[in-house]
Amino acid sequence: MRKTITFIAFAVLFTTSVAAAQAFAPLVTIRVTLPDGRTEELTAAESGLARVTAKDGTEFGFRPTILDSKPWNRVVVAIFRTPSAAAPSQLLGEVEVKTGSAAVESRTSPAFEIAVVKVSPPPGGATTNE
């Protein structure tokens, strides 16, 4: 019983700290051109995941990671094929993009064009990597 209570307390603390970290993460707006030519604008917290579904039903995830201090000009975007009933999650690759610059084509299969439109402070303005 004591181990169960300790585990539950640890799980609650861990979940709360992850949620708090996300609340203070900058928001990254990404423009993604899919292999079918469709362009989507996605927003995710730094180190969060934005998802888009291709016309064939395949879901892809994009996780931005900021590499520098504010004004956040360098961002690496990791590209994932999200899990399905037939296959687990798969990292397809990463691209480094400069905020506000032209789109960069990924060297993944399938290929995507990715641009970081902007990086904004989180609602409330506090950040962990200023």
Unique residue bearing structure tokens 């892809």: 60
Q: What is the pTM of this model?
A: 0.78
Contact indicator for 42, 61 with CB cutoff of 8 Å: no
Position 66 scores a pLDDT of 97
Tens-binned pLDDT, residue by residue, of the chain (130 aa): 555 454 454 444 444 444 444 568 999 999 999 999 999 999 999 999 999 999 999 999 999 999 999 999 999 999 999 998 888 999 999 999 999 999 999 999 999 999 999 999 998 765 554 4
**What is the reported pLDDT for 85?**
87
